[in-house]
Amino acid sequence: MLASAGIVVAVMQTLLVPVIKDLPQLLDTTPSNATWVLTSTLLSGAVSTPIMGRLGDLYGKRRMLLASLAVMVVGALISGFTSELVPMIVGRTLQGFSMGAIPLGIGLMRDELPRERLASAMALMSSSIGVGGGLALPLAALVAQNTDWHALFFGAAGLGTLSIVLTLVAVPESKTRARGTFDHLGALGLSLGLVLFLLPITKGSDWGWTSASTLGLFAASAVVLLLWGVLELRVPAPLVDLRTTARREVLLTNLASIMVGVSFYVVSLVLPQLLQLPTATGYGLGQSMVVAGLCVAPLGLTMMFTAPVYARLSAKYGPKSTLILGLLIIAVGYAAGLGLMSAAWQTVVVSVVLGAGIGLAYSSLPALIVSAVDPSETGAATGLNTLMRSIGTSVSSAVIGMVLANTAHHVGGVAIPTMHGFRVSFLIATAAVALGLLLALFLPGRGRRATGHRLLASSGDSVKANEKADVKADVKADEKEAPALATERVS
């Protein structure tokens, strides 16, 4: 049920991909204004992810998950009943808040599942973004081609409502709570800093990368985030524990997450365009929107099927080794993609290989984070990790968009992407994977036993209730006599 909630969130994000080029006409506005429909979702998702994770740690992860899904449903309904720009932006902003469902779901899994189920469950939850995106692309294209485009939002609202009901029925609330209060000033500072950082990334191609607006916002974001960091180090209950975040395993994992996010989004941007370009270009494959979606769909489906494979590999070799393997497979996929661009079936092969690699990499990231933080910090820590992946996709979108624009042919005032631009995009993704691999190699080695102990300690069902009571009683007695012995017994 938690993974299905993550898939619903991903479906919501991919919803408008088939009608992106038609948004100015559908909303009766300019192309630059229409991009705010997509930018607003990105910004609200980036802001809400770490905040909802922290709120879940403090007040209940299931409660915050239900709130995230409810806000998404309201936003989908607002968008479904309007063709005006401003209400559409409001609706899409509310839909972006559902991104917090991913870290909340991972936190619930850590608190409630036994150790032997935890690895594959977190892998599936982490991969749900790719799974939902892969499934939504052809379905959204089919709906957009055959019905009113507002049906996309009503479908998302229906899925969100169903997910709320299933969560109420099947998902228990976690009893694990963090101490302290919610850091309102920290939340405001982080939100402002992220908006100031992501806004020029998403709008830089329209404003100009060297314009005063773009450079000014980047400078302002640096100042705000620096002041926010100073504040977080001084408050007793910070929104994000920067001391924990600065640990080598957490820091390197988050940096590697950005690279994985870049590699995931490049293929999502390039292959659909290549498939839909007319054959008259000499390299376009001339496929319909629906067929293009079906060719890219294996990317998400393969990510879903790698979850049980990841669990076995991670149990034997550890999540660090699985992350390295995933990055190597991604590199092979992009290298193969440089030569496999001349037929639709070749794009399917590339999608499958990349899906397998990205699935393994995505599955490893939350396990590395969870094994390095206290159970009461799971929501905030995994929320920050999800944010890092979102930053990676945002940077990828901006860079690849700029590359394709600068290498495009202009025919009748229309910019047509070139094969050279597609190949350069794949090379950029390969470079990001290489950097991610370098970061992963410097992660501290964590044996299966150490990871297992940490996960076991955080699993609510791994010890029966009466055994827990006995252990607690023994620990209290030992604490009075010998603290070192007590520590050994807990371990």
Q: How far is Cα 375 from Cα 381, in angstroms, rounded to an integer? A: 10
Residue 420 has which token pair?
């050279």
Residues 258 and 309 in one domain: yes
The reply to whether 191 and 252 lie within a common domain is no
* CA gap 191, 49 in Å, rounded: 10
- Asked, for residue 343, whether it belongs to a domain, the answer is yes
Per DSSP, helices labelled H in 235-318 are 242-245, 248-276, 289-317
Q: Do 283 and 363 share a structural domain?
A: yes
Tokens 């919803």 identify what position?
15
Find the CATH number of the domain harbouring 132: 1.20.1250.20
pLDDT at 391 exceeding the cut of 70: yes
Q: Is residue 304 part of a domain?
A: yes
Region 144-148: mean pLDDT is: 82
Which has the closest alpha carbon to 126: 369, 458, 428?
369
* 442 in a structural domain: yes
Asked if the structure places residue 456 within a domain, the reply is: no
pLDDT computed for residue 127 by the predictor: 76
Shared domain for 446 and 404, answered yes or no, is yes
Whether 131 and 260 share a structural domain: yes
231 alpha carbon, distance to own chain's centre? 27
Q: Is the same domain home to 264 and 315?
A: yes
415 three-class SS: strand
Domain check: are 266 and 205 in the same one?
Answer: no
Q: Are residues 258 and 197 in the same domain?
A: no
Q: Please, how many CA atoms are within 13 Å of residue 373, restricted to the half-sphere of its CB? A: 31
Contacts (Cβ under 8 Å, ≥6 apart) of 317: 448
Give the model's confidence band at 475: pLDDT under 50 very low, under 70 low, under 90 confident, else very high: very low
- The top-scoring range by mean pLDDT among 41-50, 183-192, 442-451 is 183-192
Q: Regarding predicted confidence, which is higher, 253 or 481? A: 253
Predicted structure pTM score: 0.77
Higher pLDDT, 477 or 259: 259
402 and 205 Cβ atoms separated by less than 8 Å: yes
233 and 246 part of one domain: no
**Residue 462 pLDDT:** 40
Residue at a domain's end among 215, 238, 261: 238
Final residue belonging to a domain, choices 191, 217, 238: 238
**pLDDT tens, residue by residue, 266-310:** 887 888 888 888 888 888 888 887 888 788 888 878 887 887 788
Is the domain of 62 the same as that of 155?
yes
Compute the distance between CA of residue 374 and CA of residue 377 in angstroms, rounded to an integer: 5
- Residue type, position 364, single letter: S
Count of the separate structural domains present in the chain: 3
Is 6 within a domain?
yes
Q: Give the domain range for residue 203.
A: 183-238
Report the percentage of the chain scoring pLDDT > 70: 90
Q: Which tens digits make up the pLDDT trace of 358-389?
A: 888 888 888 888 888 877 777 778 878 888 88
The per-residue pLDDT for range 227-236, each reduced to its tens digit, is 999 998 888 8
Give me the mean pLDDT over the 415-426 stretch: 86
Question: What mean pLDDT is predicted for residues 38-57?
Answer: 84
142, part of any domain: yes
Question: Is there a domain that residue 12 lies in?
Answer: yes
Q: Is residue 223 located within the same domain as residue 359?
A: no
Among 4, 265, 293, 306, smallest CA distance to 128 is for 4
The mean predicted confidence, pLDDT, of the chain is: 81
CA neighbor of 429 nearest in space, from 384, 387, 393: 393
Give a yes or no: residue 178 inside a domain.
Answer: no
**Do 63 and 153 belong to one domain?**
yes
